[in-house]
Structure 1
Amino acid sequence: MRKIYNFSAGPAVLPEEVLEQAREEMLDWHGSGMSVMEMSHRGKEFMSIVDKAESDLRELANIPANYKVLFLQGGASSQFAVVPMNLLEGNTQADYVHTGQWSKKAASEAGQYCSVHITASSEQDGFNSVPPLEQWHISSDTAYVHYTPNETIGGVEFQWTPDLSVAPGGNGNIPLVADMSSNFLSRPFDVSKFGLIYAGAQKNVGPAGLVIVIIREDLLAIPPLPRTPTMYRYKTHADQASMYNTPPTYAIYIMGLVMEWLKKQGGLVAIEQRNIAKAKLIYDLIDASSFYHCPVSRSDRSRMNIPFTLSDSGLDEVFLKQAQAHGLLQLKGHRSVGGMRASIYNAMPLEGVQTLATFMREFEKNHV
């Protein structure tokens, strides 16, 4: 057993039994005599790995048959450009919900390909909440609406899925696009409500480098923007079952092991309940304290990323140093917001969160 708890926002902690299985299979996968890293991506061994990974993902997320699952390279940030390249369909405008730094980056990148309309924003309160649907204003000629269900840096998370059919200016035909990178598979979600979902793997489901795209098949018929590179066309990869070129094979293998692990935990319903319990431990401690503070609106707090500050910022480095001595790593907040951040993704065990809570109580007791 490892002696540390890794609260990194990403690349993040992976289930220990997944890492142990990967270690055992490193030199020889299932008697093949090869490491997964050495396999041909078109060979029967790797094809069995990727087929099972997709099958398990479809089962876990209850992905409808009319959606394609793509395993791509480039991470989620690549999709900031690939989404407008593929979904504009002759339109000159796309709508973005601005709730923090990642949605801002997505909107900024899209601005190179079209006019970006900010549907709603929580900038007025420092990005510490989610703008309610009744405050959204969807433009009449938008190609799609993009939002970020969980802002990793600010610790703001949507606890609901936007219904564009009832949003001001919206209708049920506008594709909803979501960057689910930091809360993917942390709870059940209805795939049928989305046109496209993308998620970087390195938070909840695997190593960095892999991005998972779930796209409704009718959207594949949209002609990409002129001069869109072949590699940046969703249809290229959908037609070739993610094998147009060499995909990130080892990352897909690890993702497949995580899918198996999630199924053993009881699936997304069970993992959501565990994530709720873990987050509650820390939020309850913060709310009962005058020493710690979380700026995020209680109704919009992330279960995955918990930002908090100390009443005396001069104690920040002392807190981090002592936390590390207790085996609690990567608690420093993002440089843009400061303070602390505990990322408690699916693979963070309850014991790790309990250990953090105990340390936080002791630190407060010693420094008040």
Structure 2
Amino acid sequence: MRIHNFSAGTAVLPDFVYNKTADANRDYNKTGLSLLETSHRSVVFADILTEAEALLRELKSIPQEYTVLFLADGASQHFAQIPLNLLNNDTEASYLDSGVWASKAINEARLDGKVNVVASGKDDEYRSIPTDFYIPEDNTHFHYTSNNTINGTTLLVVPKTSVPVICDMSTDILSSEIDVTKFGMIYASEQKNAGVAGVSIIIIRNDILDKVNRNIPNISNYAIPADNKPLYITSQVFAIYATSLNLKWLKSQGGVPAIEKRNIEKSGLLYKEIDRNSLFTGRVSNISQRSRMNVTFLPNNPEHEQEFLDFAAERKVVVIKQYADYGGFRASLYNALPIESAKTLIAVMQEYENHKKLNA
């Protein structure tokens, strides 16, 4: 029986990616070498990187005035690196506080300069995202998180402002159609929708590269790898290959428009069951901001939490426990999760409801 993996990351990948990476691990493209022992300076990797960038540009319609990087780190690295690149000592940046990871980005930015928190969902326990706020035109940039993994909220409309918009799309990149030109920079850890852990996608508009007027380490300056890619750092050869495969799979599925329709269907079915089921309640207070990627819900009786987790695990539904120190459940419905898995979780919820009624 198939395991239904609802992990928030590292997430489920398509079988196509599993099979091709397994082959590459043994012998990449009949070279006689494992990709794990292939140099990041080799022609083999140069071809992989070129294909990955071309696929990403095609799938997201990225114009040439944007640089695409695949960097060896996670999103948290960029919480610190972004203000280093954009925020001078005498300037201010605007941030939207919509959850745990947005708060971490704010705390890192405060180490480098002035931060204007335009709005915060903290008083609502991040069950919704504020949308009524002002972004000063003299700020260096505006930063927000488009999808909040832990809280299960999402902001589908890009806030309007004249300053560069910087967006953390770690948990919803490639899941829905967006206009890249509305952003100064998009960044994302890959282990949700784009690939495996250890690599971040960076899409940055060229005119905001190398603008800071203070000295920063070369390793932290986005302009350096942009000018020297891919050789300034030791690239994650195997992980970027997995990314290329994942992008190729996404293209074969009909691209982002097709996968967005599938994601709407998957999340819609699960939210419908949460709203119907007498044992569960959705966590997000603003229904229009419910995430398509991370569906969060609570047991109406907290004492049933572990019982339901065990009940689901017995039926091969796994990793639905909410993030550490948070109660309830979280089902992550990333691109590669089959709709059959969502339907299986729904069936388990219905079976559990019937079980509790029979044993009441």
1:307 aligns to what? 296
The residue that corresponds to 2:240 in the other structure is: 252
Report what 1:48 is aligned to. Answer: 47
Post-superposition CA distance 1:111-170 (Å, at most 9, x none):
1001111112222322111212xx212235311000000000000001211121xxxxxx
Residues 5-57 of structure 1: CA distance to partner in whole angstroms, max 9, x if unpaired? 11111111111221011112221111111111111111111110110010000
Distance 1:331 1:343, change over 3 A: same
- Distance in 1 between residues matched to 2:342 and 2:112, nearest whole Å: 43
Cα 1:85–1:362 change in 2 (3 A) is: same
Rate the CA distance shift 1:54–1:285 in 2: closer, same or farther, 3 A.
same
Equivalent position SS for 1:245: coil
Task: State the partner residue of 1:71.
Answer: 70
Q: Which residue of 2 aligns with 1:234?
A: 222
- What is the CA–CA distance in structure 1 between the aligned matches of 2:23 and 2:236, rounded to whole Å? 20
Q: Does 1:323 align with 2:312?
A: yes
After TM superposition, the structure 1 = structure 2 runs for residues 126-205 of structure 1, keeping only pairs within 5 Å, are: 126-132=125-131, 135-164=132-161, 172=162, 174-205=163-194
Go from structure 1 to structure 2 and tell me whether the alpha carbon gap of 1:338 and 1:225 turns closer, same or farther (over 3 Å shift).
Answer: farther
Cα pair distance change 1:151/1:101, threshold 3 Å? same
Alpha-carbon deviation of 1:89?
4.4
2:341 to 337, 344, 352: 352
Secondary structure in structure 2 of the residue aligned to 1:212 = strand
Q: Secondary structure at the match of 2:209?
A: helix
The alpha carbon displacement at 1:74 in A equals: 1.8
Q: Which residue of 2 aligns with 1:6?
A: 5
State the secondary structure of the residue aligned to 1:221. coil
Unaligned runs of 5+ in 2: none
Aligned length in residues: 356
Corresponding residue for residue 85 of structure 1 = 84
What corresponds to 1:168 in structure 2?
Answer: none
Deviation at 1:335, TM superposition (A): 2.0
Mapped partners of 1:274, 1:69: distance in 2: 27
SS at match of 1:26: helix
Equivalent of 1:273, from 245, 253, 261?
261
Matched with 2:101 is: 102
Secondary structure of 1:96's counterpart equals strand
TM-score, normalised via structure 2 length: 0.96
Q: Which amino acid aligns with 1:365?
A: N
Match in the other structure for 1:212: 201
Superposition deviation, residue 245 in structure 1:
1.6
The amino acid that maps onto 1:292 is F
Residues 143/339 of structure 1: CA separation in 2 closer, same or farther (3 Å cut): same
Shift of 1:81: 0.6
Structure 1 residues 239-273: Cα deviation after superposition (integer angstroms, max 9, x where no partner): 01232121111110100000000000000000000
User: Do 1:86 and 1:224's aligned partners in 2 also have CA atoms closer than 8 Å?
Assistant: no
Aligned to 2:282: 294
CA contact (8 A) 2:6 2:331 kept: yes
Instruction: Give the aligned residue type for 2:130.
Output: P
- The alpha carbon displacement at 1:235 in A equals 0.6
Query: What do you get for the CA RMSD once the two structures are aligned?
Result: 1.2
Matched, 1:361 2:350: yes
| Identical columns (%) | 42
What does the per-residue CA deviation read over 1:332-367, in whole Å, with 9 as the maximum and x for residues that have no partner?
Answer: 011232101001100100010010000011111111
Shift in Å, 1:90: 5.3
Which residue identity lines up with residue 143 of structure 2 in the other structure?
H
Shift of residue 73, structure 1, vs aligned partner? 1.4
Show CA shifts across 1:49-103 (max 9, x none): 1100100000000001100001111200000010000012454311100111010
C-alpha distance 254-224 of structure 1, shift in aligned 2 (>3 A): farther
Contact 1:304-1:344 within 8 A present in 2 as well: yes
CA offsets, 1:172-210, max 9 Å, x none?
Answer: 2x1000000000100111110000110000111111110
Secondary structure of 1:139's partner?
coil
Amino acid at match of 2:128: S
Look up the equivalent residue of 1:73 and give its one-letter code: A
- The answer to whether the Cα contact below 8 Å between 1:196 and 1:214 also exists between their aligned partners in 2 is yes
Structure 1: which 5+ residue stretches go unaligned? Answer: 165-171
Q: Deviations over 1:313-342 (max 9, x none)?
A: 111111111111111110101123210100
* 2:101–2:148 Cα contact (<8 Å) kept: yes
